[in-house]
Structure formats: C-alpha cells, structure tokens
Amino acid sequence: MYWTERASTWHERITDIYIITIFFVYLLFPGFSGYRDITKAKFLFLMAATGLWLLLLTAALLWERPRFPRPGPAFWAMAGFMAVCLLSWALSPWRAESLLGAGRYDGLLSELCYALGFLGVALFTRPRRVHAVALAAGTALCCLVAALQLFGLDPLRLFPVYSGGRYLNYYDAGLLYSGAYLGTVGNTNILDAVLCCALPLSAALYIRGEGPLFLAPLVPGVFVLAAAGGAGAALAAACVLLILPPLTVTDRPRLRRALFLASAILAASALAKLWQPLYAAGTLLPRFDFSPFALCLLAGSAAALGLGLALPERYAPPARMLRRCFLLMDGAAALGGAALLWFWPGDSGTMYELHSALHGQLDDSFGSSRIMIWRACLGLVPERPLLGGGPGTLALRLELRFSRYVAQSGVTLSSYVDNAHNVWLARLVNCGALGLAALAAALGFALADASRRMAAPMTAGLCAAVAGGAVHGCFGLGLCLSEPFFWIPLALLCSAKEVLPCSTTDTPPPEPGSSSRP
C-alpha cells in the first residue's frame, strides 16, 4: 500500500524530499534577522527550494522517461490558472512591479511557484505517511516556540531589540509595533493560516489510528490558536470540527480516539483562557483567570475523557449510523450557532459584528477594518475585470492608511494597506475573474474527486485541511509564508493514483497472430 511504501522512482523520491523540505525545514526556518525580515528570507528559501526541485525533477524525468495516467480536471484547471497569471502579468501596466509583487513578495514569481508546485506534486508523487509525519513534526515544533513566546520567552530571539536594549515580545503588539508575531512563521494571521491547514490533517490521522505522533501538534497548536488566533481562524476551526467527524469516525475505536482528541482540545483551550498574564513596562507577571468559560472547557474536557474511557467494549455502532448522528449534530450546531448570532445581546466584539452582519448592518470598522478594505478592493475590480491588474499589484492600486496614538506607550503607530486580507478577493483584483474562476474550478474538481475515495488514509484529512485553509483564506493575507501549506495538500488531494512502468522496461506487445500465453 503506497501510504507506507517508499518511493520507487527518482522523480517520486525528489518530489517527496521537496514536500518534506517545505513541511518541516521551510516551516521552521525563521531567516537570519528574526521577524524584521522574515518574509524576504522565506521567499528566497521557497524560490531556491522550488527551483532546485524542478531542476532535479527535470533531470530525473529525462533519465527515467516514465509514463503517467491522464491528469484530471483539477490539474488542467490549475494549468489554466498559471496561464491566466502569465497573461495578466504580460498585459499589466505595472509589469516590472508585478514580477516580485508590490506588496510582500506576492507577485508573478510566487504565483508560478505555487502553481508549478501544485502541478509537480499532483503528477509526480502520491500521499504518503512521511509527508504527514514531516508536517506534524514541523507544526509541533513551531507551536512549541509560539507557546513559549506566549509565556514570555523567546528562545530563538526572533523579536527585534527596542530602545534601551530590551527585546520586544508578543505582548508589545499594538503598543510598540503594529501587528502581532508568533512562532517561526511571523504574523499571527499567517500562523493561523498554517495551523488551519496542518492541524486538521493530524487530527484526522490520529482518529484513524495512525499513531499518537499525530496528537503532538494538536495540543500546542490549539493552545496557540485559542490564545492568539483571530476570528478567521476560529471560523475555520468551527467548519473543520463540523466536517471531520462524519468523514473519519466510522467505528468504536475511532469514536474513542475522537473523544480523547476532543478532551485534549478542550483542555488546551481551557489553558489558553486561564493564562491571562499582566504586562507592564516590559515585565510579564504570571496570572491565571478562572473564568466560568474556562471552567466549562475543563469540565467538557473531563466529560469527553470519561466518556471515552467508559465506552463499552461490546459497543459496535454501524458506520452509517455514526455518520447520520454526526450529520444531525452538525445541523443542530449550525442552527444553534445561527440562532445565537441572530439574538446576540452584546454591543461589541466579533460576535456582535457577526450579529450585525446577519441583520444586514456592516460598518467599515468591522473585522479590524476588513470591511473597509474589502469595499475598497471591490471598487478596483471594474477597472480590469477579466485579467486584473497583474499578480501582486494590489498594493499599487490601494490608497488606505491607518494611524493611531497609543497613550500607554506614547507611540503613534502608522501603517498602509498593501493586502486585501482576503486571498480570494486579492486574486480577483490581481488576476481577474478568469484567474479566480480557474482557481475555484481546481478546488472544486479536487474535492469532488476526493469525495469518491474517502477510504484512502489521508483523503479525509486532506479534505479537512483544504477546507480549513479555504475558509481562513477569506480573512487571510495569502503570502508565501503560508500559501505552500494550502497548495501542497490540495495537490496531494488530486495527485496521480497510479504511475505506469517506465518506458525503458515496458514489455513489448506480442506480434500479430501470436499467442500471449507462454
């Protein structure tokens, strides 16, 4: 079974090494200047790794001359997206700026890197256990660094030095600098994007019984998401929690592991809500806040653990019954969540903003001013509707700036908008309706094809990872620091199922009139 088999050809080995490099080394590589220049460092690493992989892959293909099954529709849709990106760049008035991107290295080179990575992975390898292990290990170490930073430590010295020789930390965000940074990825929004893709895959594999290793990234990852994640990550996590059980929980052992996983997730979330330190003048004072919500999370964790331990040995529910039960629970949760938002009594916060959106009341300040940014981006679409302004040119066309005075630190923080804060909207502005349609078609074809082979080891987890990444993309930055962790799982989801023998070892067909029997 190829899930645990090693690659048998050089082009598969080279592609597997590339995936492992991205899932582990690239994820943990913080550059040489910490957060100050992490985007540039990651961009150069990604370009170098992808270029070397394509070069070695080309040499292996020329040497082996393999034959492959006909690519599926998702492959051709992604090839169409790459063609649209090239055409959009060629016809862009900002062609020079579009090559690297006027924002944060989000131009043509990055888009071609994602697309070529997708096409190569989809055609030249298959989902393997080693891919999932590399991603789980990299995610666990990244989240361990982030968790230590939340406890006031900075083991890799990623934060820059402030005046007086003191290193900044996570809790200086919004006081001495704009944004917030955690882990080996950078901005917390980007870290959220990585976790929304990586954690669902590990969760699905743990429930399937592939080993406790896949539980390792989930506890620190959930702690980081609960402590520092944004509303987009919370929505993506909620969608994954609705999607995953019907796809993975099909018998008693899996139900038991799912309950243990729920207990661990609730316990990590409770710890994140309990840890509420006091921060002043660069000093972090430990403090635990035993709020009713945190205590409810702890009670839920204990209940899930107790139910998992008490599950009778003779209990053997049919897979169809379990699936129907989880679907009914998903429907009830969705209706209950919608009713809660509709009748929400508060007058501030994310829940209030969602409540107002359901009632058709959208203020420009909602979502950390995302509504204002999205409206400004939508206003650019009619200028170049089909092909957009060119990859990475959004920053040249937006004229939005923000500044505010922070009384606590006496610092005025200023920033300008160079990102749509919505991956799909950014591609609509940069690559036009044709580019967005091609990308949506690739995503749809991949998920449709995967729905017919859910029994494969990684399929359900990859579907959940792609779904989590797609939902978070509605609020994400879509930069090179996180995009490979969406594109590679998507490519693995629709990768070739069977590679035919190399042409040099094919058995010649029998001569006309001869028997094929010995």
User: Which three-class secondary structure string do you get for 87-127?
Assistant: HHHHCCCCHHHHHHCCCCCCCHHHHHHHHHHHHHHHHHCCC
Is residue 245 within 8 A of residue 321, CB to CB? The reply is no
What distance in Å separates the CA atoms of residue 459 and residue 446, rounded to the nearest whole number? Answer: 11
Please report whether residue 436 resides in a domain: yes
What distance in Å separates the CA atoms of residue 94 and residue 389, rounded to the nearest whole number? Answer: 8
Is residue 387 within 8 A of residue 431, CB to CB? The reply is yes
Select from 150, 247, 232 the least CA-distant residue to 200.
247
Owner of token pair 């888009």: 111
Torsion of CA 249, 22, 189, 495, to 10 degrees: -50
The reported pLDDT for the residue numbered 68 is: 72
Residue 372 CA: distances (Å) to CA of 233, 351, 404: 20, 18, 17
- Residue 466 predicted with pLDDT over 60: yes
Is residue 462 within 8 A of residue 247, CB to CB? The reply is no
Is residue 75 within 8 A of residue 120, CB to CB? The reply is no
The reported pLDDT for the residue numbered 410 is: 60
Tell me the pLDDT band of 505, cut-offs 50, 70 and 90. Answer: very low
Please report whether residue 180 resides in a domain: yes
Give the bridge partners for 113, in sequence order. none
Total domains present in the chain: 1
Pairing of β 401-406 and β 278-280: unpaired
Task: For residues 102-110, give the mean pLDDT.
Answer: 92
What distance in Å separates the CA atoms of residue 113 and residue 50, rounded to the nearest whole number? Answer: 7
Task: For residues 340-349, give the mean pLDDT.
Answer: 85
Report pTM.
0.91
Please report whether residue 293 resides in a domain: no
At residue 419, the 3 state secondary structure works out as coil
- Residue 1 predicted with pLDDT over 90: no
What distance in Å separates the CA atoms of residue 253 and residue 113, rounded to the nearest whole number? Answer: 41
Top-ranked range on mean pLDDT: pick from 42-46, 318-322, 359-363: 42-46
Model confidence pLDDT, tens digit, residues 373-401: 999 999 999 999 999 999 999 999 988 77
Give the bridge partners for 278, in sequence order. 285
What distance in Å separates the CA atoms of residue 363 and residue 173, rounded to the nearest whole number? Answer: 25
Other Cβ atoms closer than 10 A to 291 = 13
What distance in Å separates the CA atoms of residue 244 and residue 83, rounded to the nearest whole number? Answer: 34
Give the bridge partners for 412, in sequence order. 405
Please report whether residue 476 resides in a domain: yes
Torsion of CA 391, 393, 394, 396, to 10 degrees: 180
Please report whether residue 281 resides in a domain: no
Tell me the pLDDT band of 449, cut-offs 50, 70 and 90. Answer: confident
What distance in Å separates the CA atoms of residue 501 and residue 9, rounded to the nearest whole number? Answer: 10
CA angle 333, 336, 338 (to 5 degrees): 110
Q: Which domain holds residue 87?
A: 10-251+317-500
Please report whether residue 301 resides in a domain: no
Task: For residues 468-473, give the mean pLDDT.
Answer: 95
Model confidence pLDDT, tens digit, residues 420-443: 999 999 999 999 999 999 999 999
The reported pLDDT for the residue numbered 508 is: 39
DSSP state of 66: B
DSSP state of 25: I
Other Cβ atoms closer than 10 A to 298 = 18
Measured distance between the N- and C-terminal CA atoms of the chain, rounded to whole angstroms = 30
Is residue 72 within 8 A of residue 443, CB to CB? The reply is no
- Residue 504 predicted with pLDDT over 80: no
Is residue 192 within 8 A of residue 449, CB to CB? The reply is no
Task: For residues 323-348, give the mean pLDDT.
Answer: 90
Pairing of β 186-187 and β 278-280: unpaired
- Residue 515 predicted with pLDDT over 70: no
What distance in Å separates the CA atoms of residue 280 and residue 287, rounded to the nearest whole number? Answer: 13
For 135, the enclosing helix (H) or strand (E) is helix 129-150
Is residue 28 within 8 A of residue 138, CB to CB? The reply is yes
Select from 4, 269, 279 the least CA-distant residue to 128.
4
CA of residue 209 relative to chain centroid, distance: 23
Model confidence pLDDT, tens digit, residues 247-277: 999 999 999 999 999 999 999 999 999 999 9
The reported pLDDT for the residue numbered 67 is: 78
What distance in Å separates the CA atoms of residue 314 and residue 255, rounded to the nearest whole number? Answer: 13
Give the bridge partners for 502, in sequence order. 66
